[in-house]
Structures are given as C-alpha cells and as structure tokens.
Amino acid sequence: MNRGIRLFLVAAGLIALPFLTDFAFGRTWVRIIDFALLYSMLALGLNIVVGFAGLLDLGYVAFFAVGAYLYALLASPHFGLHLPFWLLLPLGALVAGLFGILLGAPTLRLRGDYLAIVTLGFGEIIRIFLNNLNAPYDITGGPQGVNLIDPITIGGFSLNHPLSSSFPAVYNYYFLFLAVTILVAFVSSRLQNSRIGRAWVAIREDEIAAEAMGINTRNVKLLAFAMGASFGGLSGTLFAGFEGFVSPESFTLMESIMILCMVVLGGMGHIRGVIFGAILLSILPEALRYVGSLQQAIFGHVYADPSSIRMLLFGISLILVMLFRPAGLWPSPVRRRELAAHDETARHENSSIYDAGH
Amino acid sequence: MPATDLLLVSGISKHFGGLSALTDVSFSIGRGEIYALIGPNGAGKTTLFNVITGIYSPDSGSFCLNGQNMAGRKASAMAKAGIARTFQNIRLFSNMTALENVMVGRHSRTRAGVFGAIFRNASSIREEQQIAARARDLLSYVGISRHEHMLARNLSYGDQRRLEIARALATDPMLLALDEPAAGMNHSDTDSLRILLERIRMDGVTILLIEHDVKLVMGICDRLCVLNFGHKIAEGTPEEVRSNPAVIEAYLGNS
C-alpha cells in the first residue's frame, strides 16, 4: 500500500478512535485509552534506557513521579502557585532529565543485575521522600499527596471543559496525549537512527568494544538516562494535570515493573512494538474485569471472582508470551532483514551449484 | 631517532595483586612499521596491549603517541588520539549489521548530537551520509562489502576478523593494534590477511601485532619484541630475534 494512503488511514483511525470507543464501550474506555497513551510515553522513555542502551532500570517510575509532582506543586493551591502548562511541560521533562543524570551517574560502573538493584533502590528512595516530606515543612503533602491540581489549560482553554455534550473532557485529553505520544515516538525514532542511537546500541552489545572504538561510554550512558527520564517527566506532568491529584501510591515498584513488562513484551528496542506493549498491558487488566460477566453468560453462575482471577490470567498470559515469543510480540525488523540476507546467500549458493553442473 | 617514533613506550609496569604482569617494558615503534609482540602464553602481551589501548592504566612508566604522553587515559581517548585495536576474542557488536559496526567506528570522528539527530539539519544529514559512505568503502577495502547487511554474528569467522579490522580503521588510526588477528585461521585466510596488512601499511597506518603464527610474524613484521614473564627478553629484526639464545630458551626451555 502507498505510504501516503497508509498514513491517512492511520490518522483517520486515531481521530475516530475516541468516538468509536465511546459509542461501542462507553466513556470509561476513552479514559482507559488516555492512560494507555500516558503509559506509551513511559514505555518509550524506558525503551531508550533498556531497549537501546541495554541498561536495566527498575526504578523508572521515579521520573514519572518527578514530572507529576513538579506539575502538582507548581500548579495547585498547595503552594498557591499556578504556573502555566506550556511552561511546566518542558520544565517537567528538563527536571526529570536532570534527575536521570543524577541517578544515572553513581550507577555508571554497574551492569545487569547490580544496576537493576541500585535503580530499584533509587525508585523507592524517591517514593519514600515524597511520602515523608510533609514534616517539619510540608513540601509534598506526604501520604495524602497533592489535591486540587489545576487542569491543563492551553491558550486560556481548560481541557476539563467539554467542547460540547458529545465532545467531553476525556476527548480533549485524548488528543493532547496523542500529540505528545506521537512527538515522543518521533524523537525516539530519530534518535535510534542516528550517531547517538548507534552508540547506545554499541554499548548494549559490548561496552568494552564501544569504549575502544572511541565512544565515551560515560557521557553516552548519561545521555540515555537523561533522555529516557525526560520522557517519563513529560508523561508525569500530563498525568498530574489529567488526574488533578497525585500521591506517592501511584509511583510504586509495581508501576516500574509494569512499564518494564510493556517494553519487554512489546519488543525491546522496537518503537512500534513498545507502544503496542504499552497499549496492550494497560488495556488487558481492564478487559479482564469482564471475566465475571462472561462466566455469568456462559455458565449462568460466577465460579471465580473476577478481581482475584484477573491478575492470575494476566500473569499466565505474560508467561505464555515469554515462552513462545521471547523477543516480544512485535520485535524489531532487524531479524527480518537478517533472514532476507540469508535467503540471498542461499540463492547464491544454489546458483553456484547449478553452474558447477554445466 | 625519536622524531620518527610513532609510539614510545618507556618503563611500563603493571601488577595484578601480587602478580607482576609487566615489569619495566620499553620499546618504540617507528612510523609505518609493522611491529610484532610475541612470547609464550602468559608472557604479558595482551596486558601490554590493554595498557597501550587504555583498557588498563599502568602502575608506572609512560608511553607517548606522537610525542604526547598518553599513559592512564581512557580507552575512548586513546581511540580519539589515534590508537585503534581489535580483540583476541572477537568483540563485534553482534546484533548490528556489518555496515553498522563500521559506522560505530566513525563515532569519535563525527559530532552530530541529540539536536542533529532530532532535527536532521543539513550538516547532520551530510555527516550521516559521509559516515555510511566511509563505512562502505572500508567494508570493500577489507573485502566483505557483499555482507554489508548481515548481522555481525552471522558472518564467518574469517569475515568477523576482517570486520573488526574495518571497524578499527574507521577511527582513522595512526596505530592499528591487532591482537592475534590470525588466531583460528587456515592457511589461505592467513595469506589473505598478510596481503591486507601489507596494504594497510602501504596506506600509511603503523601496525602493532600480537601473533602466535610464527610464520606469519616472521614473514611480515619489520621488527619485533619478545616478552617472557612480563620482561622484555629480546628486540630486533626477525633474523636477530630468531638466533637470540634467550628467545630459544623461552620457547623451548633449556636443555
């Protein structure tokens, strides 16, 4: 299919998506899709660190928290500050990026399991700080978090206001989140196919060889941490403005693991695969809520409580995917390219056998 | 004549705990030479190599490239200054294509950063084209351009060795350091490697070689240095070294 036509179809589908979802499944599902987009940004950010540079980070949600609290503290009655969204969005990315460098710097010599443990610790430190910085001076609101956060306002228009009765606020947020997700995906793909992206992959493949080829591995790793963290910060600011409320509970280790699952399940290092993984894993737990009514419909009786069986099914599906598609559901096309090259070699070999027969 | 020396190594020592891997090793490599480093297993050849390429820093002693002291610098700084290397156990970026491997070698000679990557301005596009063109040239230089899109790990052993040389050459080195490039190669591979090394030298790159294949070493190098238990025991032309009693003793034991 022509590239232009395909692009047009994808765009039309993305624009129609909230309307169709609302019509078919109800407004709650548009909200779930909004969250899926936030998770896509997070997964794309973590993909830079884990997928491109090969640095296992188990504390990634900390950067999401930094972005969210930045927006929450600077645009809410908590400090009486109400800074505008257009300033806070890039600021969230920037501050989260700085935190990425701050947390990345001490881990530069670590690899694999050790790096994972230290980043896990950092993620928890951030959460515990947020939980306890309410005394003696109340900075973060402690376990209660920050409430009444300003809704995202663009050019005087608050996204919390429905455009019309058939265009509710969740649609506004959908289109904003979609735009930022596309931006993040675009930046990711540009970075991947560049001198910097090659250096990241080289470090993932063999750090010593990368250093010996003239790559300053310290700087290039810090850059990966900073870029990944800044995407997390973007997602965090959007989250705070969307929810209107943040508390440390949203930034637990479980969230970091979930984002990592999205990256691994979708296909590490493959941008489309990672977005696919994020959407799938944010929708699947919601969809599994319907297991109860499904049982009712089939057996006329609910045998297993859906809330208890949901995580079980989720776990089983993850294990199955890892068993049968260990490279992820939608791995990068490098393998395809490689197979094509193999076919060509085979053809060469066959033709030379044929020549020898003459 | 120090003016013609490309690499001047003086008094390098390196200990690992109680083991002294190198003791007071000195030698110099002239511009355009093929210089070999030989010695029995465990003699300290690879340690010396790792010191010169910045993987280890020496405990004492110094070495100069082009009159500039380099001891203790990071490996990436060595590559930038003009020392490129290959590894004894091939260390390619195995899930990257052959072409991408060589393109990584251009890293230290190019500059595009995050801004150039995202906005693809004219200079970063031009630079990216130059990187790819140079990488293709180098692949054909070492004779594996038809495998340009194959993943490095799927190349045959000999081609992987060639790819490592191409990747090292992509850093525009003054000194190319090869750690056992002929290890595991058959006769015809070794012969074509010899031709390649001669050609690289003709093109103005000085070569430092660790090699076990004595026939290859004696046939190709201008001068060589023999290490045993971390000490330099002989240095000179192949003829001089071959008849040196200390070398014969190191290799065959005293009878």
Please provide the average confidence, as pLDDT, over all residues in chain A: 89
**Is residue B129 pLDDT above 90, yes or no?**
yes
Domain assignment of residue A8, yes or no: no
pLDDT for A343 equals: 55
Mutate to test the interface with B, among A184, A213, A216 (most CBs of B within 10 A): A213
Q: Are residues B141 and B78 in the same domain?
A: no
Q: Are residues B110 and B74 in the same domain?
A: no
CA atoms within 13 A on the CB side of A156: 0
Domain assignment of residue A18, yes or no: no
Distance CA B101, CA A209 (A): 11
Domain assignment of residue B76, yes or no: yes
Structure tokens at A42: 């997070």
Q: Are residues B76 and B100 in the same domain?
A: no
**Is residue B165 pLDDT above 90, yes or no?**
yes
Tell me which residue of B75, B95, B35 sits closest to B237, measured CA to CA: B35
Q: Within 10 A of A12 (CB to CB), how many other CB atoms are there?
A: 10
Question: Measured on CA atoms in the order B162, B168, B169, B175, is the torsion positive or negative?
Answer: negative
| Distance between A147 CA and the closest CA of chain B, angstroms | 36
* Residues of B whose CB is below 8 A from A196: 112-114, 117
Span A33-52, mean pLDDT?
97
**Residue B149 belongs to domain spanning:** 94-161
Give CA separation, A263 vs A133, A186, A187, in Å: 32, 17, 17
Total tally of structural domains belonging to chain B: 2
Burial class (CB in 10 A: 0-12, 13-18, 19+), A351: exposed
A224-251 pLDDT tens trace: 999 999 999 999 999 999 999 999 999 9
Distance CA A245, CA A149 (A): 6
Span B98-102, mean pLDDT?
96
| Distance between B242 CA and the closest CA of chain A, angstroms | 33
Among A residues 108-147, those touching chain B with beta carbons less than 8 Å apart: none
Q: Are residues B68 and B119 in the same domain?
A: no
pLDDT for A295 equals: 79
Give CA separation, B197 vs A122, A123, B218, in Å: 50, 51, 14
User: H-helix or E-strand containing A253?
Assistant: helix A253-266
- In chain A, what percentage of residues exceed pLDDT 70? 93
Domain assignment of residue B168, yes or no: no
Tell me which residue of A73, A62, A71 sits closest to A127, measured CA to CA: A62
| Distance between B46 CA and the closest CA of chain A, angstroms | 15
Interchain proximity B107–A338, CB inside 8 Å: no
Structure tokens at B190: 């070794």
Nearest Cβ partner for B95 among A193, A209, A334: A334
Interchain proximity B92–A211, CB inside 8 Å: no
pLDDT for A29 equals: 94
Mutate to test the interface with A, among B55, B107, B111 (most CBs of A within 10 A): B107
Q: Are residues B39 and B157 in the same domain?
A: no
The model's confidence at residue A15, banded by pLDDT at 50, 70 and 90, is: very high
Q: Are residues B7 and B78 in the same domain?
A: yes
- Residue of A133 and A2 predicted with greater confidence: A133
Domain assignment of residue A162, yes or no: yes
Total tally of structural domains belonging to chain A: 1
Of B128, B161, B194, which one is at a domain's C-terminal end? B161
Nearest Cβ partner for B79 among A196, A213, A338: A213
Domain assignment of residue A86, yes or no: yes
Q: Are residues B72 and B192 in the same domain?
A: yes
Among B residues 53-112, those touching chain A with beta carbons less than 8 Å apart: 53-55, 74-76, 78-80, 84-85, 87, 91-97, 100, 103-110, 112
DSSP, residue by residue, A158-210? ETTS-SBTTB-HHHHHHHHHHHHHHHHHHHHHHHHTSHHHHHHHHHHH-HHHH
**Is residue A341 pLDDT above 80, yes or no?**
no
Q: Are residues B100 and B154 in the same domain?
A: yes
Among A residues 145-164, those touching chain B with beta carbons less than 8 Å apart: none
Domain assignment of residue B167, yes or no: no
CA atoms within 13 A on the CB side of A203: 33
Q: Are residues B98 and B75 in the same domain?
A: no
pLDDT for B120 equals: 92
Domain assignment of residue B10, yes or no: yes
pLDDT for A289 equals: 79
**Is residue A8 pLDDT above 80, yes or no?**
yes
Domain assignment of residue B133, yes or no: yes
Of B161, B192, B218, which one is at a domain's C-terminal end? B161
pTM of the model: 0.90
A178-189 pLDDT tens trace: 999 999 999 999
Domain assignment of residue B217, yes or no: yes
B166-223 pLDDT tens trace: 999 999 999 999 999 988 888 888 999 999 999 999 999 999 999 888 888 888 999 9
Structure tokens at A324: 């049968």
Interchain proximity A338–B151, CB inside 8 Å: yes
pLDDT for B3 equals: 53
- Residue of B208 and B245 predicted with greater confidence: B208
| Distance between A17 CA and the closest CA of chain B, angstroms | 28
Size of interface A-B (CB pairs under 8 A): 120
**Is residue B234 pLDDT above 50, yes or no?**
yes
Asked if the C-beta of B118 comes within 8 angstroms of chain A's C-beta atoms, the answer is yes
Q: What is the CATH number of the domain that holds B23?
A: 3.40.50.300
Question: Measured on CA atoms in the order B250, B253, B254, B255, is the torsion positive or negative?
Answer: negative
Among A residues 200-229, those touching chain B with beta carbons less than 8 Å apart: 201-202, 205-206, 208-217, 223, 227
Q: Are residues B71 and B190 in the same domain?
A: yes
Structure tokens at A41: 């940004």
Of B135, B161, B187, which one is at a domain's C-terminal end? B161
**Is residue A340 pLDDT above 60, yes or no?**
no
**Is residue A256 pLDDT above 90, yes or no?**
yes
The model's confidence at residue A353, banded by pLDDT at 50, 70 and 90, is: very low
Q: Are residues B70 and B183 in the same domain?
A: yes
**Residue A183 belongs to domain spanning:** 23-356
Structure tokens at B60: 């004492």
Burial class (CB in 10 A: 0-12, 13-18, 19+), A343: exposed
Nearest Cβ partner for A205 among B54, B96, B113: B96
Check if the beta carbon of residue A97 is closer than 8 Å to that of residue A222.
Answer: no
pLDDT for A356 equals: 44
Which residue of chain A has the CA closest to B111? A195
Q: Are residues B133 and B196 in the same domain?
A: no
pLDDT for B247 equals: 86
Q: A238-250 as b/e, with b when 16 or more CB fall inside 10 Å?
A: bbbbbbbbbbbeb
pLDDT for A345 equals: 57
Q: What is the CATH number of the domain that holds A253?
A: 1.10.3470
Q: How many residues does chain B have?
A: 255
| Distance between B73 CA and the closest CA of chain A, angstroms | 12
Span A336-349, mean pLDDT?
54
The Cα angle at residue A52 between residues A325 and A326, in degrees rounded to 5: 10
Structure tokens at A192: 């991947």
pLDDT for A342 equals: 55
| Distance between A25 CA and the closest CA of chain B, angstroms | 38
A268-320 pLDDT tens trace: 999 999 999 999 999 988 888 787 778 788 888 877 777 777 778 778 888 88
Between A95-104, A156-165, B147-156, the lowest mean confidence (pLDDT) is in A156-165
| Distance between A93 CA and the closest CA of chain B, angstroms | 15
- In chain B, what percentage of residues exceed pLDDT 70? 98
Interface pTM (ipTM) of the complex?
0.93
pLDDT for A357 equals: 39
Q: A222-233 as b/e, with b when 16 or more CB fall inside 10 Å?
A: bbbbbbbbbbbb
**Is residue B145 pLDDT above 80, yes or no?**
yes
pLDDT for A2 equals: 84
* Residues of A whose CB is below 8 A from B127: 195
